[in-house]
Amino acid sequence: MPAIELPEPNEPVPAGDFIADPDATMHYFAVDRSGSLQWEQGSFSYFDVEAHIVELIPASVSDAF
């Protein structure tokens, strides 16, 4: 998979946890140690349930990601 080229953000990204949809019926957790997973959207359908994607990344991953 080719490396992702992302622009650095104009403002600092606040440290801490962020879950876009804490009330989602189902969550899909992905561990990404290098900031290389690419999602086209923040959720996907699993059978008849929409699963919200929660990606776990370390602080060493660029804020651009």
Question: Is there a domain that residue 61 lies in?
Answer: no
Question: Is there a domain that residue 45 lies in?
Answer: yes
As a whole number of angstroms, the distance between CA 65 and CA 22 comes to 21
Question: Is there a domain that residue 6 lies in?
Answer: no
Cα–Cα distance list, 16 to 28, 30, 50, 59, 61 (Å): 19, 17, 25, 9, 13
pTM: 0.67
Across the chain, mean pLDDT equals 83
pLDDT band at 39 (very low <50, low <70, confident <90, very high): confident
Question: Is there a domain that residue 31 lies in?
Answer: yes
